Amino acid sequence: MTGLRVVPSWRHGQERLYVCLTDGRNVAWYDREAARVNLLSEDEREGVLQALGPFLTGPVTVGPPPVPTPAELARLSLHPDDDLAPNRPGEALLVALDREPGPPHRLRPDPRRRALAAEQAVGEALDRLDGAGWHALHSIPLPGGDRIHHLAIGPGGLFAVHTVYARKQKVTVADPMVTVGRREPHPLLRRVRADADRASYALTAEVHPVLALAEPADLAIPAPLREVRVLKDTEIEGLARLGGVLKPADVEALHAMARDRGTWTRV
């Protein structure tokens, strides 16, 4: 027995197998696509290869990571329980529905499932920005039971995204009120701005508020809005056209900071 354990991680369809000590710290990871085992500690070489033995496919290169950046090293030092990057869109709702699925038969659809569908649609659109130098984190927990639905970090800056299910309904946004279909208006933009403010405080960087609408039939904004962007889920990928705010190294450093659960405990 090596005392090491292998923890799989999936991100944007790519798998990495992390090798962890008993206290959760990573000492190596196996990149299947690159056929490479990256060692953070040469002393652990034998144990790492033994632990990865059942997972290795074909010849692999073994050695230290190729020119690791400070952001990568900070990420690898995270305990798996403190790393928010593996969170799926709507992670908190998925967990809640798994724990309490609700009665099998009800007159109206469970609103949690509609909210989940919205977060998944918007989250998947944000994840597709990865090839343009962006990172997206989902379902970021905040003190008091609140959470940020999505955080996008890329060349165009940082964006705290709050999603709303609006399938086949007209949405009217009159600051700070948001009206979806025939429902009563709700001052949702206050929540959207508050999420961005808390994220700005946690990351010591400017975070822009975004309201994302999943599948609305129509959108009306009678007057210009202060600071808040309102986007349909089909418009999310337009964020990739924004740039000139953050350098790649800054994006990576902020992503490493934002994915650490501890970053959010003080907001």
Tokens of 29: 């990871």
pLDDT in tens, the chain (267 residues): 467 989 887 654 567 888 888 877 788 889 888 889 988 878 889 999 999 999 998 899 998 877 556 666 666 678 888 999 999 999 999 999 988 887 766 667 789 999 999 999 999 999 999 989 999 999 999 999 999 999 999 999 999 999 999 999 999 999 999 999 999 999 999 999 999 999 999 998 999 999 999 999 999 999 999 899 999 999 999 999 998 889 988 898 899 999 999 999 988
Instruction: Answer yes or no: are the C-beta atoms of 252 and 69 closer than 8 Å.
Output: yes
φ, ψ for residue 245, nearest 5 deg? -105, -50
Dist. CA 68–CA 45, nearest whole Å: 18
Token pair 């799926």 in the structure block, residue: 88
Q: What are the angstrom distances between the C-alpha of 158 and each of 28, 208, 237?
A: 30, 6, 14
**In terms of Cα–Cα distance, which of 19, 41, 15 is closest to 29?**
19
Task: Indicate yes or no: pTM above 0.85.
Answer: no
Residue 188 CA to chain centroid, in angstroms?
A: 21
